[in-house]
Structure formats: C-alpha cells, structure tokens
Structure 1
Amino acid sequence: MAGEPGQPTRLLKKLGGADLTAVPEVRHALRAMLRKWGGPGASDVAELLTSELVTNALIHTEHGAVVTATVVPDGLRVEVRDYVSGLAGLPGPSVPIADDGTHGRGLVLVQALADSWGVEDHGVGKVVWFELDGGAA
C-alpha cells in the first residue's frame, strides 16, 4: 500500500495565509503522490478531505498553514497545522445550516469518511488530522 518504489511517500507544503489558490495546488500534489495508492476511490476521498481541511485552515487564519501527508504501511495520514493563537476551544463537526451553500461541511465530511481523525492543540495553533486505510471507499 505504500506505493511503487521511487514513488514519493511524503508531502510537505507550506501555505500562505488566506491563499485559497493553494487548495488546488495541494490537491494536485496529493493526487500525484497517491497515483498508485489505495483501492478504488481511496485517493479521491483523501483529496476531498485534504481540500476541506486546507480550506478551513486558510479561511480561519491569517498566518498560513502546513500540510503534511504521509503514506505508511497501514494507510495515509494527513495533517493540516495552522498558527492561530487564542482559540476558544478546538473545532468539531457541527450540523451545517441548510441554506448556507457549501460552508460548514468540512469536519462533518472528515468525520463521516475518515477511518480516524482528530484535533490537537499546539499552543500556537492546532493540527487537524485524518487517517485512511487505503481500502475501497
């Protein structure tokens, strides 16, 4: 599951604050890394969830974010670290407002589609992460 020999197994990207053009760039880099990874649909799920976390980080911080994706023998782990201090609690999924377009669904999707996920406080910011086992989606 860790990919072909010579295939990159780690992605690290630093993103500028509020630069939403970084979202498709991260998606493209992840797609290239996961070209031979996982069962049918697994890399599509990874791209979707990564896009949601990156978008959240860039919308809610002015200081940018760091995305790390690592293919391990058991699957894939993606972490998005932002640098927002003074948070009033860590984020969690919430029921989106029906007429709010596409906003408010990111963590709900992560919760529904990831094999595991979580949020860790790092004092100056947080890391939101998810793991996928790479099986069929």
Structure 2
Amino acid sequence: MNPQISTPLKELVQRLSATPRGARLARRLTASSLASWGYPYGSDPNETAQLLVSELATNAVIHGRVPGRDFELRLTLPPEADALRVEVSDARGERRLQMLRGAPQDEHGRGLILVEALSRKWGVAERVVGKTVWAEIPLWPGTGKRGGPGTP
C-alpha cells in the first residue's frame, strides 16, 4: 500500500462587518494570508490581490450593504494552482452585473474595469441571499510573480 501525500487547500473564509473598517480589514487579511502562502508583501500577486479585495469589499460595503448583514471574503489557492480565486459575497442580490459595471465616463463602476484588467477572469454568481463577485488572479507558484501573457 502506497499512501498518498496531499497538499492542503489554502483558504481563508471570513465574515466582516459591512463598514469601511470591514473593507480595510479584508485587505489586511488578504495581504497576510498571501504572505503566509508564499507570496510576500510587495510581490505582484500580493499587491494585486489586495487591490482586487479592496475594490470588491468596498463595493460590498457601498452597494451591497443590507443593514445588520455582513459581507464574506473568501480566498482560495488550491494545491499546485496557477491562480488565486478571490470571492466577496454580500446580502444584496438585486444588483445585477449590468448595474455594477459602468462606462469609463460614469461616476460609478470604474472599479470593476480595474478588476477586469487585473484578473484572468471574473464574474457575478447569484446566491440564495445576495450575490458573490469573484475574480481569478494568475500566479506563478512559489515565485511571487503574477502570471499571464508575456510574463517570463
């Protein structure tokens, strides 16, 4: 019998208050989690993840807030993965993708243009209560570099 050794899934799941303080804490938790997973502070993946989480958490606080309800941050890095998955879920489901994404000249919605530029792919998934906005950040495992076209 040959026992298999498996590398555990790296995951952070945290509920946070739907306040500016909760959004700041989401960014800090992201930075420290990625640092402990081998992507140190100042590396491309760490900084990119912080920017994405900051945008998505701020959107959850401003546009997805329901009084008395929290938002949830989930970071997932499967073993031998080439991407980090970032998810931010809020309690407001009536906001659809068309309402979230604005044109560059609009006062609102430009943050999701940033999310689109920094992620390999992203989207919105409905939940029983609310929605989840997710994005995947390409990674080069163990190098601290962001992957993608033209990246060595």
Scaled to the shorter chain, the TM-score interval is 0.7 to 0.9
1:93 aligns with 2:98: no
**Counterpart residue number, 1:128:** 133
Distance (Å, rounded) in 1 between the aligned partners of 2:23 and 2:85: 18
- 8 A Cα contact 1:93 1:111, kept in partner: no
Stretches of structure 2 lacking an aligned partner (at least 5 in a row): 1-6, 147-152
1:45-68 residue CA offsets vs partner (Å, 9 max, x unmatched):
111001100000011112221110
The structure showing larger relative contact order (alpha-carbon pairs under 8 Å, at least 6 residues apart) is 1
Q: Offset of 1:34 from its aligned partner?
A: 0.8
C-alpha RMSD of matched pairs (Å): 2.6
Alpha-carbon deviations, 1:18-42, whole Å to 9, x = none?
x111122111111111112289412
Q: Which runs of 5+ in 1 are unaligned?
A: none
| 1:11-30 pair list within 5 angstroms | 11-17=12-18, 19-30=19-30
| Identity in percent | 34
TM-score of the superposed pair, with normalisation by structure 2? 0.72
- Poorly superposed stretches of 4+, deviation over 2 Å: 37-40, 88-93
Q: TM-score, normalised by structure 1?
A: 0.79
Q: Is the 8 Å Cα contact of residues 110 and 130 (structure 1) preserved in structure 2?
A: yes
Equivalent pair of 2:87/2:133 in contact (CA under 8 Å)? yes
Bigger CA radius of gyration: 2
Distance 1:31 1:89, change over 3 A: closer
Q: Where is the helix percentage greater, Structure 1 or Structure 2?
A: 2
